[in-house]
Each structure stands twice: as C-alpha cells, then as structure tokens.
Amino acid sequence: MSIKSPGKSFREAVNSNNPLAVLGVINAYSALQATKLGAKAIYLSGSGVASASYGLPDLGIVGLEDVLIDVRRITSRVDTPLLVDVDTGFGGAFNIARTIKELIKAEAAACHIEDQVAQKRCGHRPNKELVSISEMTDRLKAALDARTDENFVIMARTDAHAMEGQQKALERALAYEAAGADMIFAEAVHTLEEYKEYTKALKVPVLANITEFGKTPYFTQSELASVGIKLVLYPLSANRAMNKAAVEVFNSIIKNGHQKDVLDIMQTREELYQMLDYYEFENKLDQLFAKDKK
C-alpha cells in the first residue's frame, strides 16, 4: 500500500505540471518502463485491456474484474498514479459503486466514466449513442457517493462532441461539473478553440485525449497548455508501437526462418534486466541463501 493516497498524488501531479502528460500502459512492465523514464502519471485504457489482455474489440465486452486484474498488476509494481478507464461504470448504481470501491482497494488513483450507453463504442468511431444528462449525472452521483478515499479522482468523460455538437457537449460538461465531477474528459474534440471553450466554461481541470489515427489532431502539449488544458492523454501510443514491432518480428521469422533481420528493433536482454532491476533481485537471493563459508 502507498503511504500517500494515489488520488492525492494524481491531484498533485495535475497541479504541478502544465500540462500533465498521462502515458498509456497496457501491463505492469510497460508501467515500469514509463515510470523509470520519468512519467508523472499513467493510464490503463479499456480498449487496451480488451485488445491486449483478451484479444477483443473496444465494444464494452470486458468487465470490471478484467480491468481490475491489470490494475492490480500495475499498482503492485509502480507507485506512479494510475488513471483507469471504466467505460460506463459496468452497470447500474450499485455496480458503479462497486467499481469505485474496488478501484480504490486496488490502489488506482483516478477513473473516468463516460456518457455513452452501456453498449458503448470506441470514442473515435461513428454511431455512438449517449444517455441523457440526468442518467449520466446519476452515474456520477453513485460514483461520488461510493468513494472511500476523498482524494480518489472521478473524471467525467463526454462523447457528445461527435454526436450532438460542441454546444451540447459543453452543456453536458457543465452539468457533470455541477454534479461533482473532479475533472472533465472532452472526447474527440477537433480544434484548439473548442478546447479553449471547455477550459473557459469549466472550473475543474480538462483532459485532452491525443490518441493516434482518431478525430483529434496531434496538438502539442504547449499548444494545449496555451488554451488551458491541464492533462494530455496518450492512451495507446506505446501499445501501437509494440503491436507493429511484433508483426514485423513474426513476419520476419515466418518468412526468413530466423530473427536476425529484426534484432535492431528488439530490446536486448541486458536492457530488459536493467529495466526489471534483475540483478538486485538476484543479489537478494544470493544474500538470503548464501552458504555458510566458515
């Protein structure tokens, strides 16, 4: 267990970085890599859990326990505050309450819950459907009421921009802020001016999702900071690179009968050992089980 509340660490990171870069990780090892390279906050994507852990699309197929497995693995290895994607909360009010309580037990720092219907879609795909503002605020009320750590961050994500337009999305964001959301996740926004409209209207921090190959351009952190964005999310950047590298390696082995042509895109054994602190673990074994030399 961390001495400091993970939620408090996340809030401090938001306050002390302008903006805070939140790096997507798909497992404990990538979380360790991000942490050792200096990440101040990390993220577990629902899409990442579905695709990397289960080989499934991001269509609301995985459940709470599927996500918790990966959360626990990550938080058992690093203390970097973890933001978790919980889709629509995994059910009704009592399910949402359980989601929040279990995330806090698992040492997550924050989560975001969205305003799509339960049969959700990826935020950058067409034909999304939204619940009413009142239903989403009910979700938030259930989540907020379930907090066993007041510092745990509950972020409201709105997918309304793509379906209802900017003004309706702003109305929703304001309603979610009024309901008690600690932060707002504005999904699939197209321009810096639109982000600025969010940050001018809201008092709570706003997150920009800079995912690849989606609806939002690749705005830089300095550009986003200039319009008041406080968090910049890169949900699956490293995972996409890992997936592409794996395909290249598999293809090379299948085609050529060896892996010699793709060694340059692999992490070496020594690099792996250094990242894992392998030698420290090995030395501990030697200390614990050294033979008496007297």
Query: So what's the pLDDT on residue 2?
Result: 47
Give the model confidence (pLDDT) of 14-35 as tens digits.
Answer: 999 999 999 999 999 999 999 9
Clarify whether 72 is annotated catalytic. Answer: no
Clarify whether 286 is annotated catalytic. Answer: no
Residue list, annotated binding site: 85, 87, 122-123, 157, 187, 209-211, 240, 269
Name residue 289's beta-bridge partners. none
Clarify whether 111 is annotated catalytic. Answer: no
Give the model confidence (pLDDT) of 36-74 as tens digits.
Answer: 999 999 999 999 999 999 999 989 899 999 999 999 999
pTM (predicted TM-score): 0.94
Side-chain half-sphere exposure of 174, counting CA atoms within 13 A: 10
Name residue 186's beta-bridge partners. 158, 208
Catalytic residue among 87, 107, 177, 182: 87
Does residue 24 contact residue 51 with C-beta atoms inside 8 Å? Answer: no
Dihedral angle sign, alpha carbons of residues 200, 203, 205, 210: negative
Give the model confidence (pLDDT) of 246-272 as tens digits.
Answer: 999 999 999 999 999 999 999 999 999
Domains of the chain: 6-237 (3.20.20.60), 243-290 (no CATH)
Clarify whether 292 is annotated catalytic. Answer: no
